[in-house]
C-alpha cells in the first residue's frame, strides 16, 4: 500500500498526486446527497475522513455526520483532486477576482457538451462574452420573458388535463421529470433563441446523450491523443456534435434571414450575439473586429441550451418531490399561488410582479436548492500554489467544491441540517435568517450563475401553474435514487399521482 510523503511545508506535488495508482482503492467521491465521500483511514496523510451517513426514507430526512478535516485529497475516477468542503474556503475560491482559480477545462467531451462559452471560458475571453450576453438577463428583459415562461407552463398543465387527468376521473399518474425537461427546453428555446422546443428538440436530445458520455469519460483514464481515435464512443460524440452544430446553424440562419423583415436581429440572447458578430463601425478610421465570431456564437448557444434547461428542469423535479412529501407545505403554497396569481382559469397569466409576491414559495425553493442542488459539484484549478486549510495546494491542482455536502454541514446549518425546513431562510423568523449566504447552488462571486433570477421566475411560474390546478402525491412506483450526472437527477424519474383540485 503506497504511503504518500508530504513535504515539510505540508504541500504535495501534482506529479505525486497523479502518480498514485488509482487501483489502490484510495477514495470514492460522489457528491449526490445520498452518496458518500469516503477515504480509507490513514491511507493518505492529507485525506481526512468525512462521512455522510444517510437515513433517507423518501428523502424526507437525511442525517449527516462528519469528522476530521474538511480539506483533503480525493479521487474523481483516475484524477486526484483536492476536496474543499469548508464553506468559508469554498467562498474564498469562488469570490476570487485575481484569476487564481480559473475554470478547469480538461475534458474535450465537456467542451463538446458546453462549448467554450460563458460557463467554461476564462480571462479576457470570458469578459468579452459576458459583455455581450449579460444584457439579455436584466430585470426588464426578465419581466417580458415572464409571459413566455407562464405561457409554456400553462400549456404543460393543459396537456396534463387533456391528456390524462380529465379522462381518468380527475386523477392520473404522470412521470414529471420528463415533463419538466420539455417545458424548460421550450422556455429557453423561446426566450433566448426565438424558436420552440419542437425546433430545438434535436439539440436537446443530442446534448442529453453527450452529457451521459461526458460523465462516463470524466471517470475514466484518458490516454493522451485517444480523443482522435475513431472509437465507437468518439464516432458517436463527433456525430452528436455535428448534429448540435447543424441544428443551431439552422436556427441562426433563420434569424439572419428574418433580419430585414424584422428590422434587426431581435433583442433576445441570440439577437444580442448576432449584433455582436456584425462588423463594428470603424473607430478612429480603423475598423474593429466583431465582438463574437460565428463559431463563438454556436458555442454560446450550446452553453445556454444546456445550462439554461437542464438545471432548472431538475430544480422543478426536486421541488415537486418535496411538495409531495410535505403535503402541509403543498397546501400553503397552493393557497399563496391562488391568492397572488388567481385560480388559474381564463387567459390571465401571472406577471413578474405577482410571482415576486410568492414569499413562501421562494423559501421552499431555497430549501429545495439546499437539499437537492441541481449542480452538486463545482470545480476549479489553481494557477499557482495556494494555501488551503492548512496545506499548500500545488499549481495546477483541481479543486472540488462539494456543494451538496456543504449544504448539509451541521456546523453551518445547525443540528437540523438534514431536516427539510424552508423557514430556515425566513429572515423575518429571526432565528436563522441570513442562512442564504451559505447557499452555493448558484455559486457566488464573479462566476455566479447569470441565469439565477431567470431560473427562479421560471420555476415559480411552473409551480404556481401546477398547484393551482392539481394536487400531487408520490406514486408507489417512485424509487428515491438521486444521481449525479454533472447535474443531480432522479435516476428512475418522478412518477406522480396528479389529481385535479376541482374534482
Ligand atoms: C436552478 C437552476 C440553475 C442552477 C442551480 C444553476 C447553477 C449554476 C452554477 C452552480 C454555476 C457556476 C458553475 C461554475 O462555477 O462552475 C452556474 C453558472 C452559469 N449558469 Fe446557471 N444555474 C441554473 C440556471 C441557469 C439558467 C436558467 C441559465 C441561463 C438561462 C444559466 C446559465 C449559466 C451560465 C451562462 C453560467 C456561467 C456564468 C459565468 O461563468 O459567468 N443557469 N449556474
Q: Whose CA is nearest to atom 23 of ligand 1?
A: 311
Q: Residue 223 has what DSSP assignment?
A: P
Three-state helix/strand/coil letters over 296-355: HHHHHHHHHHHHCCHHHHHHHHHHHHHHHHCHHHHHHHHHHHHHHHCCCCCCCCCCHHHH
The closest alpha carbon to 300, from 123, 126, 144, belongs to: 126
Ligand 1 within 6 A of 80 CB? Answer: no
Long-range own/partner contacts, residues 411-417 (CB < 8 A, 24 or more apart): 412/87, 412/438, 413/370, 413/438, 417/64
Pick the CATH number of 133-278+288-371+441-500 from 3.40.50.450, 2.60.200.20, 1.10.630.10, 3.80.30.20: 1.10.630.10
User: Cell numbers at residue 455, please?
Assistant: 431560473
Which atom of ligand 1 is nearest to 369's Cα?
5
Burial of 283 (0-12, 13-18, 19+ CB in 10 A): exposed
Give, in words, the CATH class of 14-99+376-421: alpha beta
Q: Ligand 1, atom 18: nearest CA belongs to which residue? A: 449
Indicate the DSSP class of residue 412: H
Q: Where are the domains of the chain?
A: 14-99+376-421, 133-278+288-371+441-500
DSSP bridge partners of 419: 61
450: CA distance to ligand 1 center in Å?
A: 6
CA-proximal residue: ligand 1, atom 7 (nearest): 442
* Ligand 1 contact via 207 beta carbon (within 6 Å): no
pLDDT, tens digit only, all 503 positions of the chain: 333 333 433 334 434 434 433 333 333 333 333 222 333 223 322 222 222 222 222 332 222 333 446 888 887 777 788 999 999 999 999 999 999 999 987 777 788 888 888 999 999 999 999 999 999 999 999 999 999 999 999 999 999 988 777 777 788 999 999 999 999 999 999 998 887 777 788 888 888 888 888 777 776 666 777 777 778 888 888 888 898 898 889 889 988 888 888 888 888 889 999 988 887 666 666 666 778 899 999 999 989 988 989 999 999 999 999 999 999 999 999 999 999 998 766 668 999 999 999 999 999 999 999 999 999 999 999 999 998 877 788 899 999 999 999 999 999 999 999 999 999 999 765 455 457 789 999 999 999 999 999 999 999 999 999 999 999 999 999 999 999 888 999 999 999 999 998 77
Is the shortest distance between the CB of 115 and ligand 1 below 6 Å?
no
The residue whose CB lies within 8 Å of the most ligand 1 atoms, and thus the one to mutate among 311, 402, 486, is 311
Query: How far apart (Å, rounded) are the C-alpha atoms in residues 82 and 73?
Result: 5
State which H helix or E strand residue 176 sits in.
helix 176-193
Say if residue 449 carries a ligand binding annotation: yes
Amino acid at each position: 500500500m503506497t504511503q504518500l510523503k508530504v513535504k515539510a511545508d505540508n504541500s504535495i506535488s501534482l506529479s505525486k498526486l497523479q502518480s498514485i495508482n488509482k487501483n489502490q482503492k484510495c477514495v470514492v467521491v460522489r457528491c449526490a446527497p445520498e452518496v458518500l465521500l469516503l477515504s480509507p483511514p490513514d491511507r493518505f496523510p492529507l485525506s481526512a475522513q468525512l462521512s455522510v451517513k444517510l437515513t433517507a426514507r423518501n428523502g424526507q430526512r437525511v442525517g449527516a455526520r462528519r469528522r476530521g478535516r474538511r480539506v483533503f485529497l480525493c479521487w474523481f475516477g483516475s484524477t486526484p483532486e483536492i476536496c474543499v468542503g469548508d464553506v468559508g474556503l469554498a467562498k474564498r475560491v469562488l469570490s476570487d477576482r485575481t484569476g487564481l482559480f480559473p475554470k478547469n477545462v480538461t475534458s474535450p467531451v465537456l467542451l463538446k457538451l458546453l462549448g467554450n462559452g460563458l460557463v467554461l471560458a476564462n480571462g479576457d475571453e470570458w469578459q468579452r462574452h459576458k459583455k455581450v450576453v449579460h444584457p439579455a438577463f436584466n430585470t426588464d428583459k426578465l419581466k417580458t420573458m415572464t409571459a413566455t415562461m407562464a405561457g409554456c407552463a400553462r400549456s404543460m398543465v393543459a396537456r396534463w388535463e387533456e391528456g390524462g387527468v380529465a379522462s381518468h376521473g380527475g386523477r392520473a399518474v404522470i412521470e414529471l421529470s420528463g415533463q419538466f425537461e420539455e417545458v424548460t427546453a421550450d422556455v429557453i428555446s423561446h426566450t433566448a433563441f426565438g424558436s420552440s422546443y419542437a425546433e430545438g428538440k434535436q439539440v436537446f436530445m443530442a446534448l442529453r446523450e453527450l452529457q451521459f458520455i461526458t460523465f462516463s469519460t470524466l471517470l475514466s483514464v484518458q490516454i493522451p491523443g485517444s480523443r482522435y481515435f475513431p472509437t465507437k464512443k468518439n464516432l458517436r460524440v463527433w456525430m452528436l456534435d455535428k448534429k448540435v452544430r447543424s441544428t443551431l446553424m439552422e436556427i441562426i440562419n433563420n434569424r439572419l434571414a428574418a433580419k430585414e423583415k424584422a428590422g434587426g436581429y431581435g433583442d433576445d440572447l441570440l439577437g444580442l450575439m448576432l449584433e455582436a458578430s456584425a462588423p463594428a463601425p470603424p473607430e478612429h478610421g480603423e475598423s474593429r473586429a466583431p465582438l463574437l465570431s460565428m463559431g463563438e456564437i454556436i458555442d454560446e448557444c450550446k452553453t445556454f441550451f444546456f445550462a439554461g434547461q437542464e438545471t432548472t428542469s431538475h430544480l422543478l423535479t426536486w421541488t415537486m418531490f418535496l411538495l409531495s412529501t410535505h403535503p402541509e407545505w403543498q397546501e400553503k403554497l397552493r393557497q399563496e399561488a391562488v391568492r397572488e396569481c388567481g385560480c388559474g382559469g381564463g387567459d390571465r397569466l401571472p406577471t413578474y410582479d405577482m410571482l415576486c409576491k410568492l414569499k413562501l414559495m421562494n423559501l421552499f425553493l431555497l430549501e429545495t436548492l439546499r437539499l437537492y442542488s441541481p449542480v452538486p459539484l463545482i470545480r476549479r484549478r489553481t494557477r499557482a500554489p495556494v494555501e488551503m486549510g492548512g496545506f499548500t495546494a500545488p499549481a495546477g491542482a483541481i479543486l472540488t467544491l462539494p456543494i451538496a455536502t456543504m449544504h448539509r454541514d451541521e456546523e453551518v446549518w445547525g443540528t437540523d441540517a438534514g431536516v427539510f425546513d424552508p423557514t430556515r431562510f425566513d429572515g423575518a423568523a429571526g432565528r436563522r435568517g441570513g442562512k442564504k449566504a451559505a447557499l452555493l447552488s448558484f455559486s457566488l462571486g464573479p462566476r455566479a450563475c447569470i441565469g439565477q433570477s431567470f431560473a427562479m421566475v421560471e420555476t415559480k411560474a411552473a409551480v404556481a401553474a401546477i398547484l393551482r390546478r392539481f394536487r400531487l402525491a408520490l406514486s408507489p412506483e417512485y424509487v428515491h435514487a438521486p444521481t449525479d450526472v454533472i447535474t443531480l437527477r432522479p435516476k428512475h424519474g418522478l412518477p406522480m399521482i396528479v389529481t385535479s383540485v376541482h374534482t
